[in-house]
Copies of this chain bind each other. A is one copy, B any other.
Amino acid sequence: MAMVCLSDFEAYAKKYLPKIAWDYFAAGADDCTTRDENILAYKRIRFRPRMLRDVSVMDIRTKILGTEISFPVGIAPTGFHQLAWPDGEKSTARAARAMNTCYIASTYSTCTLEEISAAAPGGLRWFQLYIHRNRAASQQLVQRAEVLGFQGLVLTADLPYTGKRRDDVRNGFRLPPHMKVKNLERAFEVCKMSPSFHSLLWHVPHETETTGLDPSVTWNDIYWLRSLTRLPIIIKGILTREDAELAVRHGVQGIIVSNHGGRQLDEGPATIDALVEVVEAVRGRVEVYVDGGIRKGGDVLKALALGAKCVFIGRPALWGLAYKGEEGLQDVLRILQDEFRLSMALAGCASVSEIGQHLVQFSKL
């Protein structure tokens, strides 16, 4: 089977992953409307390609928070990579380093931050954080990440509770016994999900009550995080101009426009639609990124044209891992890189700096 485009990897993963793992990665909240909208919304955007510009020398590099990456596509934080490939996040880290791009490691990794760091020394990595009720646990995670050379701290803001993903509930999703959420000190017990009241708080794998995620987090906690670390803080999960303004005012260094892959509140906006509103509100004061729905190089070009500094891929990275571990993930990134470069050239841009809003328009449809 030739792996020509990202959907080839998706088909492979759907065929070869255990159903419970595939379902977990594929899951969207409720009717999966937002999950699917993330993709459909890209199709409503039309390019306005320019011709006869010298595109013989292509430069697709960019910088995020001052660090150069080979092209504006990084790896979004997703949990439980061992469900996709035995080496789990270690393979992810190696692939990202090999392709010279950024990997955002999740709190819910099945390898420790230390293992991830050791697997790919020198790679550009950010650490994704959930704030726990047990603040000491979160503080420890932040400080471990900083010590290990992670270069950014990504605070996920859209998960005070876990979204309702029907298939996970049906499957009674839990991690296999030999996998652990190793980053959390206490034993991490994966509870069976249920649609009961209890499920509001604990729809998905979670720790015991005392170390559970903290739904009382507010903007002021940004200041608390700030006090813990010198790492730049990137906030993930912003979808409105109002929150974008708050993020800037609270001193974050970056914003990831995200709806958690459509896994949290169903029927929120597609991220590429929300990006427009966030970029407008931010007015260049901090960097803005986007994840969700990226399936080909042209999507990356659209996101950049609408103001994203970089995009992050979630599920496609997992498909790559499922295909061949770090090699498979590199294949995915390389295809996206080739497609992005080609799209840029065909749109008349020789370097990332030439990409702008003039390149796109929203379809009348």
CB of A166 within 8 A of chain B? yes
CB of A65 within 8 A of chain B? no
A104 cross-chain contacts in B, Cβ below 8 A: none
| Interface pick from A16-24, A110-118, A239-247 | A239-247
B200 contacts A54, C-beta separation under 8 Å: no
Interface size class of A (residues with CB under 8 A): 35 or more
Q: 1/0 per position for A340-363, CB-CB distance to B under 8 A?
A: 011101110000000000000110
| Interface pick from A119-127, A140-148, A156-164 | A156-164
A46 cross-chain contacts in B, Cβ below 8 A: 267-269
Q: In the docked arrangement, what's the CA distance between A341 and B203, Å? A: 13
A52 contacts B219, C-beta separation under 8 Å: yes
A342 to B, closest residue via Cβ: B200
CB of A87 within 8 A of chain B? no
CB of A189 within 8 A of chain B? no
Q: In the docked arrangement, what's the CA distance between A51 and B338, Å? A: 36
A42, A53, A221, A267 interface centre (most CB from chain B within 10 Å): A267
Chain A, range 1-59, C-beta contacts under 8 Å to B: 2-5, 30-31, 33, 42-56, 58
Q: In the docked arrangement, what's the CA distance between A107 and B210, Å? A: 52
| Interface pick from A174-182, A191-199, A319-327 | A191-199
Known interface pairs A30-B296, A164-B339; A4-B195 also in contact (CB < 8 Å) = yes
CB of A265 within 8 A of chain B? yes
A341 to B, closest residue via Cβ: B200
A342 contacts B163, C-beta separation under 8 Å: yes
A42, A334, A346 interface centre (most CB from chain B within 10 Å): A346
A242 cross-chain contacts in B, Cβ below 8 A: 50
A160 cross-chain contacts in B, Cβ below 8 A: 55-56, 345-346
A: residues with CB less than 8 A from B are: 2-5, 30-31, 33, 42-56, 58, 157-158, 160-161, 163-164, 166, 169-170, 195-197, 199-200, 203, 214-219, 221-222, 235, 237-240, 242-243, 246, 264-269, 296, 298, 302, 334-335, 337-339, 341-343, 345-347, 361-362, 364
